[in-house]
Amino acid sequence: MPRPSRWNEIIEAAAEAFRTNGFAATSLEDIASAVGMWKGSLYHYINSKEDLLFAVVRGPAEEILNQLRELSDTDLPPTEKIRRATRSHVQILNSNFVYASVYLQEIAGRRKLPEWTAMDREYLNLLESIVREGVDSGEFSAVTNPRVATLALIGSLNWLTHWYRPGGTLHADEIADQFCDLFLGGLITRKTQASRSQTVTPLKTTKPRAKRTA
Amino acid sequence: MPRPSRWNEIIEAAAEAFRTNGFAATSLEDIASAVGMWKGSLYHYINSKEDLLFAVVRGPAEEILNQLRELSDTDLPPTEKIRRATRSHVQILNSNFVYASVYLQEIAGRRKLPEWTAMDREYLNLLESIVREGVDSGEFSAVTNPRVATLALIGSLNWLTHWYRPGGTLHADEIADQFCDLFLGGLITRKTQASRSQTVTPLKTTKPRAKRTA
DNA sequence: AGGATAACCAAACGATCGTTTCATTTCGCA
DNA sequence: TGCGAAATGAAACGATCGTTTGGTTATCCT
């Protein structure tokens, strides 16, 4: 059988090593021996060690941002947007766990290359806009500071890399639902209000290019 | 004037360097030159580079755990316990920002030495017990999975190290209050219910050694 | 088939790092 | 004042790392 692309093997080995030991503590020999070749041979695929980091991280980073972009262009009510954004975030973290973990631990901290900080800022701003929609429409009147509320949500989601493991006892869907209920409804329950989880209706209501109010 | 203890200078320089560049990417020469001495001379204070990491991190880690231990031994209602635990967590992150950041980025990830994971687990279990109290008493009936809800809260709190900076425009107290409102009440407001923030009453109702139900 | 190109081997280099060693200076205290 | 210990200077070590180089093998295309 034609064995799968060597490049993918390298990226996966690099991602796994970066996640477990961190970028700086991972040597090229670790990665090379994991795929069964000499460390010098890696330079047929890369120009530097950092190339591996960016290659590992680019895919999921763009995907998670694009999904939020699409969601922001719909005219769903803010409550539903928050719910879907949460589900989307959790699911991408689930299906690209190793890569996403490397991003959050190595890129979103320390390294502040303008390309990546721009992505982080856009993601934050898009989510904050949704929260502001809810504040303006009166739905989210508990929010005194939309940015802080948004960062609280992002923190809960990104912290998943510290405890969630794909294939564990906790399924990604239940975690997402619990997060939604918690953020929309809070710990304390009110009796009425339609804020509990429902099965997701995959409607795709894309507005024809709505201008985003930053 | 008698200049402050050299040991403190070393720890502070190490903490700052570890937070900005990470433990592995920080060289002993970085730390030595920051305090104005040769890297070899550091070995009059330490036995290895890792000693610096543990020395940086031990203080706040024990403090934040002890505060939650004391709070758990009171008989305050669960809502008030959550509020105080949140405030305490934010305040320690604020006043020991650099040290706590190093802990969360270098210890709570990768390194899994039994001493530290035991602390992490105890903190998580104590907080989860509070949530369970609220579930059992019927106050937190929105919670279907107490552990997930607890980890959501911890995630929001610990993610502060990624965006909060002491002395910035956002004060630690307002952040803590917004977090409390968000987690107790959710984004969507109900009209009644006493879940909004109040000025903190410093009552210290310590029960005489209550047995903790793990 | 055969030549070009990609893939990989194997070794080495130069730099950096944590650590050790020993000499020297500074400081507390009798 | 002088002595012993603590603190720092200064240099070197062995190991490891990212990267380079040049040669060898495998693969693909016409």
pLDDT digits (tens, 9 = 90+) for B105-151: 999 988 888 999 999 999 999 999 999 999 999 888 888 899 999 99
Token duo for residue B46: 């330490």
Any strand D atom closer than 7 Å to B41 CB = yes
Cβ under 8 Å to A: B residues 94-153: 105, 108-110, 131, 134, 139-145, 148-149, 151-153
DSSP 8-state symbol, B26: -
> CB < 7 Å to strand C — which of 41-70 in chain B?
42-43, 47-50
Q: Give the Cα-Cα-Cα angle B127, B19, B116 (nearest 5 degrees).
A: 40
Report, in angstroms and rounded to the nearest whole number, the Rg of chain A calculated over CA atoms: 20
Assign 3-class secondary structure to A77-102. CHHHHHHHHHHHHHHHHHHCHHHHHH
User: Helices B172-185 and B78-95 sit at what angle, rounded to 10 degrees?
Assistant: 150
Give the whole-angstrom CA distance, residue A213 versus residue B46. 54
Give the whole-angstrom CA distance, residue A189 versus residue A171. 24
Minimum-distance CB partner of B142 among A154, A163, A186: A186
By C-alpha to C1' distance, C17 is nearest to B27
Q: Give the Cα-Cα-Cα angle A123, B95, B207 (nearest 5 degrees).
A: 110
User: pLDDT tens digits, chain A, 214 residues: what are they?
Assistant: 334 699 999 999 999 999 999 999 999 999 999 999 999 999 999 999 999 999 999 999 999 999 999 999 999 999 999 999 999 999 999 999 999 999 999 999 888 889 899 999 999 999 999 999 999 998 888 888 999 999 999 999 999 999 999 999 999 999 999 999 999 986 554 543 444 454 544 444 444 444 443 3
3-state secondary structure of B35: helix
Q: Which of B53-57, B134-138, B179-183, B190-194 has the lowest mean pLDDT?
A: B190-194
pTM strictly above 0.85 = yes
Q: Calculate the alpha carbon distances from B34 to B6, B16, B39 in Å.
A: 12, 10, 10
CB contact under 8 A, B183 and A179: no
Question: Considering only CB atoms, which chain B residues are within 8 Å of A152?
Answer: 156, 159, 178-179, 182-183
Question: Considering only CB atoms, which chain B residues are within 8 Å of A24?
Answer: 22, 24-25
**Contact status, residue B178 vs residue A153, Cβ threshold 8 Å:** no
Give the whole-angstrom CA distance, residue B80 versus residue B140. 12
Nearest-Cα residue of chain A relative to residue B170: A148
* pLDDT score at B138: 87
CB contact under 8 A, A142 and B179: no
